[in-house]
Amino acid sequence: MTFGIAPSAAASAPDPVADAAIPETGEQLTRMLEPSEWSAAEIPLLRNPREVVSGLYARHRPTVATVIVAVLDPEERVRASASFVRRASTVDGWVFRNALLAQLRRVIPHDLRRRTPVRTAVLLYCRDGDARWTQEDGAWMWGLRDACTLHGLRCGAYITLTREGWQVLGEGRGGRRPHAVPAPDGRAGASGTGAEEGAGADGGRRRSPSDGAAPQPPTGGEASPSSPGGAASELSRRVAAR
């Protein structure tokens, strides 16, 4: 399987702050995976990539520069997902790994105690450009693989979402819908989280009393004693009747 290679636009915009945090050893240049290395890693194939992509798109509504990382169970059901905006201009797998790992730790416990990983992490990156592989893609691949190792997960598919459509890199599978769209104000959208285990169909987590949700008023048309206007309104009605 072959890839077309296009230059990365992000690679040409250095970030002095981010560069200062990376050792000047040249090591950062190796923290990316070439297409041949990704293909040789035997990444597990998605049984239904269109369903996975459509589900993540519906849940997070990504715009350009949005990254979505999701954890799938053996049946390819999404058990947790998170989205965030790629802000650093440095193309480096180590930086991307740290960003992905922080999101995974936030939405789902690690599986490091298991001898063999049973859950798989996939990454969907909404970006400009065409579907051809870029150095930025290679850095995200490196970051995804390393984050999965540190969180006890299997490394799954890397998917790009461009204005041409979506594509699972390394597999050649893709489609025209959904596709990348710019944010209404020209900027990438805000970050958000998807569902953990026990999620509803809308992707939101089912809330329990321990989640800090506000108590709902009783049904049946009667106001609760603590609701504003309950007892006062009743008293007013009695006075008016007299």
**Tens-digit pLDDT profile for residues 177-205:** 998 888 666 444 444 655 443 333 334 44
Comparing CA positions, the residue from 49, 79, 81 lying closest to residue 66 is 81
On whether residue 217 sits in a domain, the answer given is no
Full residue range of the structural domain in which residue 146 is found: 10-193
Q: Determine how β-strand 120-126 pairs with β-strand 154-162.
A: parallel
The pTM assigned to this predicted structure is 0.68
On whether residue 223 sits in a domain, the answer given is no
On whether residue 227 sits in a domain, the answer given is no
On whether residue 214 sits in a domain, the answer given is no
The span from the first CA to the last CA of the chain, in angstroms, equals 87
On whether residue 77 sits in a domain, the answer given is yes
Distance of CA 7 to the CA centre of its chain: 24
On whether residue 202 sits in a domain, the answer given is no
**Tens-digit pLDDT profile for residues 204-219:** 443 333 333 333 333 3
**Tens-digit pLDDT profile for residues 151-170:** 999 999 999 999 999 999 98
DSSP secondary structure string for all residues of 44-73: PPPS-HHHHHHHHHHHH---TTEEEEEEE-
On whether residue 149 sits in a domain, the answer given is yes
On whether residue 205 sits in a domain, the answer given is no
Work out how many domains the chain is built from and give that number: 1
